[in-house]
Amino acid sequence: MNKIKNLQTTQRVLKFFFQTIFYTVIIFALVYLYGYSGLGQGHFIYNEF
């Protein structure tokens, strides 16, 4: 009985760990793509001034 409980606890910890890594990678990818698209940047008006 103790082995089954220990296995379930290990599975929960591993699931939490991998989900955290997965969502962190997704957040970093979205931040990178947002910065790459240039949506948050202002346009340079005086191009040849």
Per-residue pLDDT band at 15 (split at 50, 70, 90): very high
Measured between alpha carbons, how far is 25 from 35 in angstroms, rounded to an integer?
15
Q: Is the pTM of this model over 0.75?
A: no
Give the tens place of pLDDT for each residue, 27-41.
Answer: 999 988 887 766 555
Amino acid residing at 14: L
Higher pLDDT, 44 or 40: 44
Amino acid residing at 35: G
The answer on pLDDT for 25 being more than 90 is yes
In sequence order, the 6+-apart residues with CB closer than 8 A to the CB of 34 are 40
Cα distances (angstroms) measured from residue 41 to each of 9, 14, 19, 38:
46, 39, 32, 5
